[in-house]
Homo-oligomer: A and B are copies of this chain.
């Protein structure tokens, strides 16, 4: 059981830094410190391994989204960028790499984004009320995605700017 988690953690690092398609199995076995036989016993296939990586990523990301205010979302995002770096959303990157050619991964990405959007809507609704939240939560969603994307070349400044913009928008919606 420890072997599988070690594999997924190693695969997440390598896929995140070098991309899914460009990463060969030899690099995965080397990084995970195990033979290819063991890797395939646990993962099944390269695509299934990426599936497992996305599932683990979703678990970890959603745990950070367990907050009770919009501002806290951006604090959490700033922490994420600080500890894990900024290479863009792994889900959208995976979708972008494979397009619709690997439906299993495309479905996982879309399911994650639906859950993510739902969670953001809940947080916004709790802060400004159901009726105001309708249009506002989509704006907050865009700010989170934008901070994630822009942080690739702007670093923490992008997250800070998104945080400030969100505060302005929330403040405007309150009155």
Contacts and interface: CB of A to CB of B under 8 A. Distances in A.
A162 to B, nearest CB: 5
A130 interface: no
Interface stretch (A3-11, A14-22, A42-50, A55-63): A14-22
Main secondary structure on A side of the interface with B:
helix
Contact of A142 (B113, B161, B172): B161
A126 interface: no
A89 to B, nearest CB: 7
A158 B141 CA distance: 9
A166 to B, nearest CB: 9
The residue among A97, A99, A149, A164 with the most chain B CB atoms within 10 A of its own CB is A149
11 contacts: A18-B99, A19-B21, A19-B97, A95-B152, A110-B153, A113-B153, A117-B154, A138-B154, A142-B146, A142-B161, A145-B158
Given A93-B93, A142-B150, 15 more contacts: A19-B21, A19-B96, A22-B97, A87-B96, A87-B99, A97-B97, A138-B157, A138-B158, A141-B146, A141-B150, A141-B154, A142-B161, A143-B143, A149-B149, A165-B165
